[in-house]
Structure 1
Amino acid sequence: MADGVETIAENGILSYLEKITGGDDSILVIDSRTPDWVEKGTIPGAKNLPWTNLSPAKGATTDNIIKIMNDEFGVKLAEDMDALDVDEAVVAGDTSEVFDFSGAKTLVLFCNGMWCGQSPTNIMQLLKMGYPAEKIKWYRGGMQTWSVLGFNTVKGGS
């Protein structure tokens, strides 16, 4: 995974889920899989945010990405910035001035397993937008390991 992004195991994701259950709203566990996968089962407490929702190559618009960053992740546009500024910054390779990450949540992302590219794609897109790497955690084992170990799952997602 990318520099600064922490790879976590089951004890790590369980710890984050426990913090969320205790009322910590500075953490978000994200199932990066598409809805057809999530309908088969997901980790309780995870929010479904398909990898396609952050991928311009798959049709995600800058406006939608900004909305997700703001509404879900606690990231605001920097003062006097708009979607065009974001587009220009991404093309230039420097988004450091367009987003305000001071309220950014810690994101714990997972997908089907270490062989699956859905959460890594979300992570790379977030990093491209300037999301602080230290606030991104990757549960590499994903649903495959979670299920093999017998942990609870729920149908669908929040």
Structure 2
Amino acid sequence: MKKLLILGISMFASQLVFAQAATIAPGTPLNIFEGKKEVVVQTSNGPVTITRVMTSCAKNGGTLQPLIPLPGVTPVSEAEIMTALGDKNSLVVDMRDSNDRIKGTIPGSISIPYTEVAMRMDELGCKKLPAGGKKPWDCSQAKKVYSFCNGPVCPQSPFAMKAMVRDGFPATKIYYYRGGMLDWDALGLTSVKGEF
């Protein structure tokens, strides 16, 4: 019960953060890393302070996500995403909340919001195991999952990947498109709107 309450509170807090991110005005200073708004680097011309501000094309105000959020996860680019869209053993999964997905997503991707992935792993090729076991899912026959969300500062797909691995999904079958919709749109690639 306590774990369920903690999960509910964390999901509510993350939804609140994402709702607030949509209202951040361009030019607003943002974190680069958790609790850190600047990084100072030494150059041949002296120190330079790197900061980050909200831009008109930004998807949210999160913090930079690691390229490899968990050991075993493989980072991928747009080229691998397009190849995966034609591979019957792969799923390209939009792990954003449906309010973001409806505004535009990668054609051929499926929607499994990050808050639901641990309950819907059967859609990824896993089988539910009887209660009381070490892991709730048998994912030995799982498909390769290419996950994405809003971009390099979006924590939704890394959050989902951690839940998947915790519940039995092999990290080696997870491919992370960190660039997400921010990079997809910036490259002028086709997206589809109005899909759930």
TM-score range relative to shorter protein: 0.7 to 0.9
The aligned residue for residue 83 of structure 2 is 15
1:75 maps to amino acid? C
Aligned with 1:126: secondary structure?
A: helix
| Aligned pair partner of 2:108 in 40, 45, 56 | 45
Aligned-residue offset at 1:101: 1.8
Aligned-residue offset at 1:17: 1.2
The aligned residue for residue 74 of structure 1 is 125
TM-score by length of 1: 0.75
Aligned-residue offset at 1:102: 2.3
Find the aligned partners of 2:103 and 2:174 in 1 and give their Cα distance: 25
Higher RCO, Cα 8 Å, sep 6+ = 1
The aligned residue for residue 19 of structure 2 is none
Aligned-residue offset at 1:48: 1.0
The aligned residue for residue 147 of structure 1 is 185
The question of whether the paired residues in 2 share the 8 Å contact of 1:31 and 1:49 is answered with yes
TM-score by length of 2: 0.61
Aligned-residue offset at 1:9: 0.8
Find the aligned partners of 2:72 and 2:194 in 1 and give their Cα distance: 31
The question of whether the paired residues in 1 share the 8 Å contact of 2:138 and 2:168 is answered with no
How many residues matched?
A: 128
2:101 maps to amino acid? V
Find the aligned partners of 1:156 and 1:27 in 2 and give their Cα distance: 23
Per-residue CA deviations over 1:45-77 (Å, capped at 9, x if unaligned) read: 01111111136xxxxxxxxx1xx122x111113
User: Which is greater in Rg?
Assistant: 2
The aligned residue for residue 144 of structure 2 is 106
Aligned with 1:51: secondary structure?
A: coil
Per-residue CA deviations over 1:95-134 (Å, capped at 9, x if unaligned) read: 2xx5322221111100000100011111111011121011
Gaps of 5+ in 1: 56-64, 90-94
What is the percent sequence identity of the aligned residues? 38
Aligned-residue offset at 1:153: 0.3
1:17 maps to amino acid? L
Find the aligned partners of 1:125 and 1:35 in 2 and give their Cα distance: 19
